[in-house]
Amino acid sequence: MSGRRAFINFIRSFKIMGNIIRFGLLFWENLRISFQAIITSKLRTIITIFIIAFGIMALVGILTAIDAVKSSITTSFMSMGANTFLIEGRNVTRVSSDRQPVRNYAYINFRQASEFKDNFEFPANVSLFINASGNAAISHGSQKSNPNVSVIGADEEYLLTAGYEIERGRNFTTNDIEMNRHLAIVGREVVRNIFDPGEDPLDKIITVGSGKYRVIGVLKEKGTSFGGGGDNICILPLTNVRQYFSSPRMNFRINIMPSAPQILDIAASEAEGVFRQVRGLRPGDDSDFRITKSDNLANMVIENLRYVTIAATLIGLITLFGAAVGLMNIMLVSVTERTREIGIRKAMGAKRIYIKHQFLFEAVIIGQLGGLAGIILGILIGNMVSLVTGSPFVMPWVWIISGFLLCFLVGLASGYFPAVKASRLDPIVALRYE
């Protein structure tokens, strides 16, 4: 019995292999006939391919451009310290002894900020800074700036966490901060305002408020994107600002940059727990400080691009709908023109399903050729935005795969009705067709 069962299984497997081979031969035969029919009507085929290509080009091109813009925005905000978060005081409401709500500003003093920096053991760079003035005038010799320079008191980690880079000179060292040295790092706008063209600002003495400071570094230009004025800035050692720009309730801020952007949320949660301990808050108390992630603006801009993506998708789909109607019309004309050919094939024994498959193959092939052309054009046009924004070349694999799938569906939907019409033709009537 086992030998007989083995023989039966062998025969079944042989039949399955035969069916696979027959299906493969039929597939290639339909493919060959479809390509012959497409080549026969070159002009009509080219026009149809370009109709589909323009729809896919609009879809892939705009969406590729949006991906390039998103990449550029993300890169720009990363250079501005977008993978950081800020701890600062905020307005809180407490209940006084006579049960009346009292609103006050819970500022962060130097002791609390320093204690947090010492206790925060998460893999991150922690910077302490304070806004000493937003309308300072800085002078060098007879040159004086407008009273609109931002003066920041910061430690040696501030440049990294704030997204600044040194163009010339050096950053503060830990020793500079501890020794309360009269040093300054200035932005390019300050250099342009108080130094002569071509003059080297390094080691020059400038006047900030009532103090004299030696310039040890010049920041790389950041521009004024998103309303910022990052070049009109003067950075002094944190300890120096504490002494010479002292005021009641000096409010310090803490900037934190995790070692990897992916752990930003985890680092923010850890920082909140540590700072609550520093502030002496009980488990049921509300946090009297605010944690602000610097990527909020970038996420807001990218979120607004979602509406542009939806609009672009609708435009592309409408264009593809028009292409589908055009392809269906062309396939119907093709069926009419090839009525006698269909009659001959049926008279020679071709089954209805083979006729249907032939016309479906033609429609799908035309759709895929149009999709290929549209995807190539869309990627090229979309990446022109990458060149303008300076972002890297974008290869939108999701939209490429989606484009091919859409074109397959367009070809299938457009070719189905003409294919059914061709398969139902009476061979005698078809042979008599003039």
Q: 339 and 325: one domain?
A: yes
Q: 91 and 232: one domain?
A: yes
Alpha helices in 338-351 (DSSP H): 339-347
Q: 132 and 216: one domain?
A: yes
Alpha helices in 80-178 (DSSP H): 110-119, 158-162, 174-178
Residue 247, phi-psi category: left (phi > 0), alpha (psi -120 to 50), beta (remainder)? beta
Question: The domain containing residue 49 runs over which residues?
Answer: 29-76+300-431
Last residue of a domain, one of 294, 315, 342: 294
Report the number of distinct structural domains present in the chain.
Answer: 2
- Cα separation of 392 and 69, whole Å? 10
Q: 237 and 306: one domain?
A: no
Pairing relationship of beta strands 183-186 and 211-219 according to DSSP bridges: parallel
Q: For residue 9, is it within any domain?
A: no
Q: 40 and 126: one domain?
A: no
CA nearest to 329, candidates 363, 374, 370, 373? 363
Q: 285 and 304: one domain?
A: no
Q: For residue 21, is it within any domain?
A: no
Residue 394 to residues 53, 182, 402, Cα–Cα distance (Å): 20, 47, 16
Q: For residue 207, is it within any domain?
A: yes
Q: For residue 240, is it within any domain?
A: yes
Q: For residue 115, is it within any domain?
A: yes
Q: 49 and 115: one domain?
A: no
Structure tokens at 408: 């397959």
CA neighbours within 13 Å on the CB side: how many for 338?
25
Q: For residue 198, is it within any domain?
A: yes
User: Is-contact 218 202, C-beta < 8 A?
Assistant: yes
Alpha helices in 41-119 (DSSP H): 42-79, 110-119
Q: 222 and 276: one domain?
A: yes
Quote the pLDDT of residue 227.
43
Q: 219 and 362: one domain?
A: no
- What is the chain's pLDDT, residue by residue, as a tens digit (434 residues)? 555 566 555 565 656 666 667 656 666 766 777 677 777 777 777 887 887 888 788 778 877 777 777 776 666 665 555 578 889 887 555 554 555 444 445 789 999 999 999 999 999 999 999 999 888 999 998 889 988 899 999 999 999 888 888 999 999 999 999 999 999 999 999 999 999 888 999 999 999 988 999 999 999 987 654 444 578 999 999 999 998 888 887 889 999 999 887 888 899 999 999 999 998 888 888 888 888 887 665 666 667 677 777 777 787 778 777 777 777 877 777 777 777 777 777 777 777 777 787 778 888 888 888 888 888 888 888 778 777 766 677 777 887 888 888 888 888 888 888 878 877 777 776 666 55
Quote the pLDDT of residue 298.
62
- Cα separation of 242 and 238, whole Å? 6
User: Is-contact 159 186, C-beta < 8 A?
Assistant: no
Last residue of a domain, one of 276, 294, 312: 294
Q: 346 and 416: one domain?
A: yes
Q: 161 and 267: one domain?
A: yes
Q: H/E/C letters for each residue in 21-36?
A: HHHHHHHHHHHHHHHH
Last residue of a domain, one of 294, 327, 344: 294
Q: 108 and 45: one domain?
A: no
Quote the pLDDT of residue 19.
60
Q: For residue 17, is it within any domain?
A: no
Q: For residue 393, is it within any domain?
A: yes
Q: Residue 5: count other Cβ atoms within 10 Å of its Cβ.
A: 9
